[in-house]
Amino acid sequence: MEGGERDNLGQGERQIGPLLEQKRKEKGLSLKDVEQATKIRTRYLEGLEREDFSMLPDHIYTRGFLKTYANFLGLDGEVLSRELKERRSPRRERQFNYEEPPRSRFERPLMSPGGIGAGRRRVSGATVLTIALALLVLATVIGALYYIGTRSQPAENPSEDPVPAQEEQAEEPAATPETTAAQSANEPTAAPETVQATVTVRDVPAGLTVTADGNVVYDQFTQPGFSQAFEAQSLLSVSTSNAGSVEVEVDGQNIGRLGNFGQPVTREFQANPGG
């Protein structure tokens, strides 16, 4: 039987699939029966019988499935698997071998007993040696430049520093008690410029905002009885939504209420230079 199978396989490209299908039907088995027995999916069994390799996985798995399926049917799975391999791969192998350039004497060291890795190790060693030499030269150059810089820097400083020092001493005469007293007498004494205000809320609540030199220092809805002093360096601003309820005293002088009840008002008070 095996000799006959080999003869059939040699007659055409599509003999493996029909042979599998014929043997399966002779045994009265369905694809489902074969799947349960071999654990090969029905889809792959169909692909083997139809020789439709688009339904099959990678070639190496296909050969394994074919061998298992053929042995289950009582065929020589090894022969059929080898036949499938010879049909599917010879063109690729021949093309690969044909396109491979002939080996020259330059390739012989790579095929030495040391293997390809030995050649790579030799190349890697030469590369490492080259890099080490380059780093050594670079370190030598940097060290030389640093040495020259440190040797030349102290010689330059003594010649440059004394001249500015002498010029500064010549430009700045020593101060005497007489000149200091004269300068103090000529300079006017500037009194601090501030403005102080005491804000009081009477009768009814009022919204109150106080700004000192552009910064908001108070901003609340204030109840009657509120009284607080505020101070600014140059400008103090008091804003309220109910002027008739807000009374202001500036630098000890009571200027009264800012306006009428329910009237929104903003008043600004500037510092008086000299007090």
Q: Residue 26 belongs to a domain with what CATH number? A: 1.10.260.40
Pairwise CA distance, residues 34 & 42, whole Å = 8
Say what the pLDDT of residue 105 is.
42
| Amino acid in the structure at residue 185 | A
Q: Is residue 260 one of the residues assigned to a domain?
A: yes
Q: Which two tokens stand for residue 189?
A: 């004494």
Q: Is residue 203 one of the residues assigned to a domain?
A: yes
Q: Which of 75, 94, 113 is the last residue of a domain?
A: 94
- Beta strand pairing call for 227-232 and 195-201: antiparallel
Say what the pLDDT of residue 162 is.
46
Residue 18: closest CA among 42, 52, 41: 52
Asked if 49 contacts 35 with a C-beta cutoff of 8 angstroms, the reply is no
pLDDT < 50 regions, the chain: 1-12, 14, 91-121, 155-160, 162-168, 170, 188-191, 275
Pairwise CA distance, residues 115 & 102, whole Å = 19
Residue 69: closest CA among 48, 88, 98: 48
Q: What number of residues does the chain have?
A: 275
Q: Is residue 123 one of the residues assigned to a domain?
A: no
SS3 call for 263: coil
Asked if 68 contacts 34 with a C-beta cutoff of 8 angstroms, the reply is no
Pairwise CA distance, residues 36 & 42, whole Å = 9
Q: Is residue 40 one of the residues assigned to a domain?
A: yes
Residue 49: closest CA among 22, 87, 12: 22
What mean pLDDT, rounded, does the chain reach? Answer: 75
Q: Which of 26, 59, 94 is the last residue of a domain?
A: 94
Q: Is residue 83 one of the residues assigned to a domain?
A: yes
| In the block, residue with structure tokens 């939504």 | 241
Pairwise CA distance, residues 179 & 177, whole Å = 6
Q: Which of 94, 119, 149 is the last residue of a domain?
A: 94
Residues 203-236 as b/e (b if ≥16 CB within 10 A, e otherwise) read eeebbbbbbbeeeeeeeeebeeebeeebebeeeb
Pairwise CA distance, residues 16 & 110, whole Å = 43
Pairwise CA distance, residues 81 & 40, whole Å = 16
Pairwise CA distance, residues 232 & 272, whole Å = 11
Say what the pLDDT of residue 174 is.
57
Asked if 93 contacts 99 with a C-beta cutoff of 8 angstroms, the reply is no
**Range of 13's domain?**
2-94
Q: Is residue 248 one of the residues assigned to a domain?
A: yes
SS3 call for 214: coil
Give me the residues paired with residue 198 across strands: 229, 249
Give me the residues paired with residue 196 across strands: 231
Residue 10 CB partners (closer than 8 Å, separation 6+)? none
Say what the pLDDT of residue 176 is.
58
Domain count, the chain: 2
Say what the pLDDT of residue 116 is.
44
233-266 confidence digits (pLDDT tens): 888 899 999 898 899 999 888 989 989 998 999 9
Neighbours of 258 (CB within 10 A): 22
H-run or E-run covering 16: helix 16-26
Say what the pLDDT of residue 187 is.
56
Q: Is residue 151 one of the residues assigned to a domain?
A: no
Q: Is residue 244 one of the residues assigned to a domain?
A: yes
